[in-house]
Amino acid sequence: MFQFTHYNYNVLDLEKSMKFYEEALGLKEVRRKEAEDGSFILVYLGDGKTGFELELTWLRDWNRPYNLGDNEIHLAFVTEDFEAAHAKHKEMGCICFENEAMGIYFINDPDGYWLEILPMK
């Protein structure tokens, strides 16, 4: 038997990404691991409600944008106040795709990863 625990995104600017995830989605740091030699930092973000975590990985020696391919992968988030979330994300300028027929939209983070926003059912 297996359980979900976390998902990973590699990021170029850890502080910028952490700020984005807190402002856009309310995610906060729950723990971190730093390499003794400074070669990497792992920061785990949580929503304070579920046990699922988003791991942000910063690599000291990585100096170019990550190749996200066709970017057909994403994480999905639900919100109780879809309209307020949409207004906030529009103000932030991070909405990258809307599907009004399905009642969903996507935002992208500083590294270009897509995040789906859904209304609570």
The residues pairing with 97 across neighbouring beta strands, listed in sequence order, are 106
| pLDDT per residue as tens digits for the range 75-91 | 999 999 999 999 999 99
What CATH number is associated with residue 44? 3.10.180.10
Of 29, 55, 98, 116, which one is the catalytic site residue? 116
Range of the domain at 114: 6-61+73-119
| pLDDT per residue as tens digits for the range 10-35 | 999 999 999 999 999 999 999 999 99
- pLDDT band at 121; cut points 50, 70, 90: confident
C-alpha triplet 31, 88, 98: angle, nearest 5°? 100
**10 within domain boundaries:** yes
Tokens of 56: 């942000």
Task: Report the number of distinct structural domains present in the chain.
Answer: 1
Could you say which DSSP state residue 106 is in? E
Give the ranges where the chain is alpha helix by DSSP (H).
14-25, 82-92
**55 within domain boundaries:** yes
Mark whether 91 is an active-site residue: no
